[in-house]
Amino acid sequence: MSIEIPEGLTELLQSFTVEVLRSQPRDLLEFALQYFTQLKDRETKEASRGNDQNSAPRPGKAVNFIDEAMQIDSENGEEEEEDDDDDDDEEFIAPVINRFIRRASVCAEAFNPDDDDDEDKEPWVTHPKTDEQRQRLQEACRDILLFKNLDQEQMSQVLDAMFEKFSTEGEHIIDQHDDGDNFYVIESGKFNIFVKVDGIDKLVGCYDNRGSFGELALMYNTPRAATIVAVSPGALWCLDRLTFRRIIVKNNAKKRKLYEAFIETLPLLTSLELSERMKVVDVLSTKVFNDSQQIIAQGDLAVSFYIVESGQVRITMKRSRTKKDQEEEEVDIATCSRGQYFGELALVTNKPRAASAYAVGTVKCLVMDVKAFERLLGPCMDIMKRNIANYEEQLVTLFGSSPEIEQHSA
Ligand code: 1OR
Ligand code: 1OR
């Protein structure tokens, strides 16, 4: 005998369950009564407006008590300019919090955020925060490159949607091959990265109290590419898949259009396939530096790689004035202009910055974080290493041999 599940039942119960979990009501029955009454009211209203031929509640369209109670108006939750959503004056904001509803695996689905119309109709996710939480969140997100190109409104939508998660030692935050639910920003804690090789987890890297992970599955609708395990107790900020796709992925589509032509001209990236070059664009952010502003400081720990989009960058190195002299002077050693890159040496050698970099006039750079650099630019390593070998030759010409750079190219 087969039991027929009425259409819409699963979505209805899921939305209700999510709302119960969010609101934690003391009186479940009373809550249910209010919830379904409001749902019915809305359906009646919709039917009377005649914009819904089929009166069954639409999946995900439910009642959000928290947001209503907090008077979070629907402006916060409206779609981007291009969306012609007919529900703009909707009183109720439907809560669909994707971390509760795991998606079926959609492997290597074509990248086309414009197809995400269904997602656009969902309401915006909001997790209320205390001032203290918001401050910590802002601090944790300050250097996240994926957030760098967002405008103020997009950034506050992201911050509103993020929620806190404390991890325990040994906890698997992400398991390779799972579906993607959240993007994670690290506030504190160490996290190991494992990738399966012949079925065995191989440690390929680690996050140490900074950075973010979990963007790939959400960007490309692919299963998780790595396993992330908390090495120590830690604190994470999570961004749900829906908000991530609406804001970050859409933003990336614009970025691709903007940078496609420029990226194609970069000699460094010629060893990459077109799709790989587009993935590079996805993780790049732009940063503008004013005249004389320091971009890199010699001796610092390296976290980013730079490509000059416009303007000139002066590379300098410190050296003692005389053999005995303790005082150091800064000597110009190179200039980078449009299409050239810098800041790769420390990332390749895992050493502190070998030189400093300063903006000459206003400079616009494309910036990539170290993890994306390691993940995406492997095929470009030959070109970079050849260049690094050149640094050594020039170093000898300029200064005579220097132990400083010799250890960098080891
Ligand atoms: P995700 O959504 O696929 C796992 O979930 C996350 O681990 C992934 O997004 C990245 O954010 C993060 N290869 C793939 N994913 C990585 C890697 C990585 N490192 C971090 N993640 N590699 C290591 C590069 C240092 C390449 C290994 C071959
Ligand atoms: P980084 O990560 O060490 C400073 O940060 C960057 O300056 C470095 O990567 C290179 O990208 C860039 N020696 C060392 N670094 C250089 C040099 C260089 N030129 C550019 N960078 N040269 C030899 C030193 C006299 C090149 C001289 C032309």
Which pLDDT does position 17 carry in this prediction? 77
- pLDDT of residue 120 exceeding 90, the answer is no
Is residue 191 in contact with ligand 1, taking CB distance under 6 Å? Answer: no
Residue among 385, 397, 186 nearest 303 (CA): 186
Partners of residue 188 on adjacent β-strands: 235
For 315-350, b/e burial (b = at least 16 CB within 10 A) is: bbbeeeeeeeeeeeeeeebbebeeebbbbbbbbbbe
Residue whose CA is closest, atom 25 of ligand 2? 395
Is residue 219 in contact with ligand 2, taking CB distance under 6 Å? Answer: no
The ligand minimizing its distance to the Cα of 300 is: 2
DSSP, collapsed to helix, strand or coil, labels residue 222 as coil
Mean pLDDT of 373-400: 87
The tokens of 204 are what?
């390929």
- What is the length of the chain? 410
DSSP, collapsed to helix, strand or coil, labels residue 381 as helix
- The CB density around residue 115, as the number of other CB atoms within 10 Å, is 10
- pLDDT of residue 361 exceeding 90, the answer is yes
Q: What percent of the chain clears pLDDT 90, i.e. is strictly above it? A: 61
Atom of ligand 2 nearest to the CA of 390: 26
Per-range mean pLDDT, top range of 21-30, 73-82, 219-228, 380-389: 219-228
Range in 5-14, 31-40, 302-311 with the lowest mean pLDDT: 5-14
Cα separation, 257 vs 278, in Å, equals 10
- pLDDT of residue 396 exceeding 70, the answer is yes
50 Cα–ligand 1 center, Å: 48
Residue 365: HSE in the Cβ half-sphere, 13 Å Cα cutoff: 29
Choose which residue among 99, 184, 213 to substitute to test ligand 1 binding: the one with the highest number of ligand atoms within 8 A of its C-beta: 213
Which pLDDT does position 127 carry in this prediction? 94
The ligand minimizing its distance to the Cα of 348 is: 2
Range in 101-115, 128-142, 196-210 with the lowest mean pLDDT: 101-115
- pLDDT of residue 145 exceeding 50, the answer is yes
Cα separation, 160 vs 237, in Å, equals 11
Is residue 122 in contact with ligand 2, taking CB distance under 6 Å? Answer: no
Helix, strand and coil content of the chain, in percent to the nearest 5, comes to 40, 25, 35
Is residue 333 in contact with ligand 2, taking CB distance under 6 Å? Answer: yes
Q: What percent of the chain clears pLDDT 70, i.e. is strictly above it? A: 76
Which pLDDT does position 391 carry in this prediction? 87
pLDDT band per the 50, 70, 90 thresholds, residue 395: confident
Residue whose CA is closest, atom 13 of ligand 2? 391
Which pLDDT does position 72 carry in this prediction? 27
- The CB density around residue 174, as the number of other CB atoms within 10 Å, is 22
Which pLDDT does position 117 carry in this prediction? 56
345 Cα–ligand 2 center, Å: 7
The ligand minimizing its distance to the Cα of 192 is: 1
Atom of ligand 2 nearest to the CA of 353: 3
368 Cα–ligand 1 center, Å: 15
Residue whose CA is closest, atom 16 of ligand 1? 226
The ligand minimizing its distance to the Cα of 196 is: 1
Mean pLDDT of 12-28: 75
The tokens of 153 are what?
């409104």
Render pLDDT for 316-334 as a digit per residue (tens, 0 to 9): 999 877 666 677 889 999 9
Which pLDDT does position 56 carry in this prediction? 36
Range in 6-10, 185-189, 271-275 with the lowest mean pLDDT: 6-10
DSSP classification of residue 76: G
375 Cα–ligand 2 center, Å: 22
- pLDDT of residue 191 exceeding 60, the answer is yes
**Whether 212 contacts 184, CB under 8 Å:** yes
Mean pLDDT of 52-66: 37
Which pLDDT does position 204 carry in this prediction? 95
Which pLDDT does position 319 carry in this prediction? 82
**Whether 287 contacts 364, CB under 8 Å:** yes
DSSP, collapsed to helix, strand or coil, labels residue 244 as helix
391 Cα–ligand 2 center, Å: 7
Atom of ligand 1 nearest to the CA of 183: 2
**Whether 227 contacts 176, CB under 8 Å:** yes
Query: Considering the chain, what is the average pLDDT of its residues?
Result: 81
Cα separation, 308 vs 318, in Å, equals 23
386 Cα–ligand 2 center, Å: 13
List the end-to-end C-alpha distance of the chain, in Å, as a whole number. Answer: 71
The residue among 283 and 55 whose pLDDT is bigger is 283
Mean pLDDT of 71-91: 32
pLDDT band per the 50, 70, 90 thresholds, residue 151: very high
Residue among 176, 177, 212, 217 nearest 191 (CA): 212
399 Cα–ligand 1 center, Å: 40
Environment class of 239 (CB within 10 Å of its CB; exposed 0-12, middle 13-18, buried 19+): buried
Partners of residue 186 on adjacent β-strands: 236
pLDDT band per the 50, 70, 90 thresholds, residue 31: confident
Whose tokens are 């132990």? That residue is: 403
- 3-state SS, one letter per residue, for 291-315: CCCEEECCCCCCCEEEEEEEEEEEE
Whose tokens are 């109720």? That residue is: 92
- pLDDT of residue 239 exceeding 90, the answer is yes
Range in 6-15, 171-180, 280-289, 392-401 with the lowest mean pLDDT: 392-401
Residue whose CA is closest, atom 5 of ligand 2? 343
* Inter-axis angle of helices 274-283 and 250-264, nearest 10: 120
Which pLDDT does position 74 carry in this prediction? 30
Residue whose CA is closest, atom 22 of ligand 1? 375
The residue among 76 and 40 whose pLDDT is bigger is 40
Cα separation, 168 vs 369, in Å, equals 26
- pLDDT of residue 186 exceeding 90, the answer is yes
255 Cα–ligand 1 center, Å: 22
Render pLDDT for 326-355 as a digit per residue (tens, 0 to 9): 778 899 999 999 999 999 999 999 999 999
371 Cα–ligand 2 center, Å: 20
Residue among 290, 289, 268, 296 nearest 280 (CA): 268
Which pLDDT does position 393 carry in this prediction? 82
The residue among 63 and 384 whose pLDDT is bigger is 384
Q: Could you give the residue ranges of the DSSP H alpha helices within 142-198? A: 145-148, 152-161
Choose which residue among 312, 333, 386, 392 to substitute to test ligand 2 binding: the one with the highest number of ligand atoms within 8 A of its C-beta: 333
